[in-house]
Structure 1
Amino acid sequence: MKKKVTNVHFTLETRKLIEERLNESKTITEISNELQRDRSNIGKEIMKHRIATFPSTFNYDHPCLKHVNCSMKTYECYKTCKNIEIKLCENLISSPHVCNGCQKKKYCRHVRYYYNAVEANNEYVNSWKKDRSKLRYTPLELDILNNDFKVLVLNCKSIYHALIVINKRGFNFKISTIYKQIERGQLALKKSDLPRCRKTKQKEVRDKSYKRDIDGHTYEDYNSYKEENPNAVETQMDTVEGIKENDAPVFFTIEIVDIKFILIFKLTSQNAKEVSNKLKLLKQILGNEIIEKIFEILLTDNGKEFIRLDDLQEILPNANIFYCHPYSSYEKGNIENNHELIRRVIPKGVSLKCYTQKDLDLLCSHINSLYRESLDGKCPFDLVENYISKNVLDKLNLKRIDDDKVVLVPKLLGEKNINNIKKYLDKKEIEEANITL
């Protein structure tokens, strides 16, 4: 004799079979034997999900036994009343407690109960979803999420980083679960507190034809070189602009792609000479050996500050230099992701004149101390010593920030930054940009 199945949820197919057998007037014992399920489980399933059908009260007795003496006698009040007392058909008192197989159901004036497989399955799925969506945290865990975790996210604007910091205390919070609970509004942290709550605009399709002669250094050449040299170290180079004005300063950014490590320098003006001077200074600090190692591949955009290829090749003679298509910043998406972190502290639309190199070194240190999912839970500082020694990092004024001290909101650079933002952006623009002042 086969052993009966236990502790297995009913499926829609199983429920349909139960409904069919009830319609055929089969007993619960016969159904349980066919399904190899415990008789009590079949009975509980039917009783839990049966649906009541009330007969019309027109020219017939009301289904509620209390109706005569009840003060509430509205039309079909029995459908909503919680104190209803129903006179059941004698056949419903005994198993299977439903009318599916009854021969008199067409003419019966009693309240009828039916088992419907589809309705039963929908009710089960909805109750399962509701049960799964409940918070199952201890008071301590809930307190940690609504206080310590929230503060970390508001400061560093990264759920991934904040979870690593919190989980180091012995917790085991899952990032996918946290995102769902924030979406449902179950935590103190709101969706609007997250850095990417705004909808991404659709990319504008632009002409990708080159306007300058950079044969052998195009994005197609870059892809070919990467294919032939998959282990080559790649660095990306770009600038971050402020408001448009004459001789406006910009931030010059360099990223070692494999470890997401970024360097940020201030240029007094956005031109090729400023870039060349800063690269020469960087070469003096890093030394030829490190320069050759991290600049094996150099990918940058087609901007005026980078287009003097001869100057770049003179400073970086061993680098394979390539250019993205015009208006195609997504082709160097790695450095653009770090730019997004910069913009969390210094948003678009403000002047960059008030920021010093010391400010940028501090910002750079915090960005490079942020844990990244793409680095398997490490931060760029954890991996940079394979490329740049600690002594050289000290010369660049960069240092690892304690993981619970990482801040990537405007307050990182003090009142100067907050006042600068308020000077150039109104309240509505600040709210739309999701800036936390």
Structure 2
Amino acid sequence: MNTHLTLEDRIQIQAGLKEGRTFTEIGGQLNKNKSTISREVKRHRVFTSYREHVDPRNVCVHRQNCDIKGTCHLTTCTRGSRRCLICGICARQCERFEEETCPMLRKDPHVCNGCKRRNCPLSHKRYDAKAAQKEYEERLTESRVGISLNEEELAYVDSLVSPLLRKGHSIANICHQQKANLNLSEKTLYRYLELGLFSTCNLDLRRKVQRKPNRKRPGSVNLVDRQCREGRLYTDYLAFMKARPDTPVVQMDSVEGTKGGPVLLTLLFVTCDLQLMHLRPRNNAASVTHYFHRLLRQVGPETFKRLFPVILTDRGSEFSDPQSIERDPRTGERLTRVFFCDPRRSDQKAACERNHEFIRYVVPKGTSFAPYDQVAVTRMMNHINSYGRNRWQFKAPLDIFALLYGNELLSVFGLKRIPDDQIILRPELIK
């Protein structure tokens, strides 16, 4: 008997939700427990913020009794001194703003599928059968890719396992002692230990020196939260861009020196080929998030949304926290959208890959970034961005960026135009 839900089951779930049936009624129709239906709906429902509506309106719970006027301070506001009852702009400015949530989302079925209200201005959560089936198939495919823990979960497991290993305990004994806290098998713990994911090494095992090493060396470790790419695949990117063909795209990638050393984060503006470069001490998701939050503080939310409406990147573990990149950490507002290329398809962000060739002129492949600091990287960035491109009639990306976004942002990013006859694209530039 197949215990997994099929596409036909999910279509019936969607139909039942639209008709206003309960989880119990839908489960009885499919011969499934109501908890199975409840988990399916909550796991695959899609959230749409009120800000993403075509005509966002004021959804503050205080809007009917609020006497505040002119919060947005826009000279083009046609409402003048009247209270902002329907305008959606004041929600981004007013400190008293508190979003109204739909009562249907606070109780079963926790989705808006059965709602009869038309043109609802509130945030939505909907269940879609085809999208749920697609997410299920992707999760099934990736279930054996990398490891199933994110960085925080891995640190927690390490705090339970490593102290006992140092005291001479065996893996089997640790699994028995920490049975209530560890949801991992002995084989999994041995594998994580072999991959070097713990603060201890496999030599802390009593009998390790007596065992012959495995002939097959462990491959690269992919610390990826498996759900981070849901709704952000390359097919989703193509659909998003088809609906909004004029949206500027920024391609993101990492440039490694030597394994385990400092890494460059690169952001290429496809509309002008200008590439930002930031040196990170470690190649992890936290350093990427830290850089984007710093950019947000420097330029502000509105400029950030204008600069980075869409970000396309590969599936590296350092990009496994797209939520932190997309949303303002203070307000939770979505400022950008992150999408991922297909596995082993660097050609899907070919512009960024081609521009890395200029970096390799200055820092050859296999050379560590450890001797350099951000000052040296900024110098390299300015020389590369000042170099004219054939596709732009030999105009420099830095000049085109200034025309598109203004000169004020140049100093924010540390960008400075280098005269053509002074541009150096050799290793001596930053030595």
Which TM-score band applies after superposition, normalised by the shorter structure? Answer: 0.3 to 0.5
Which of structures 1 and 2 has the bigger CA Rg? Answer: 1
Answer 1 or 2: higher relative contact order, Cα 8 Å, separation at least 6.
1
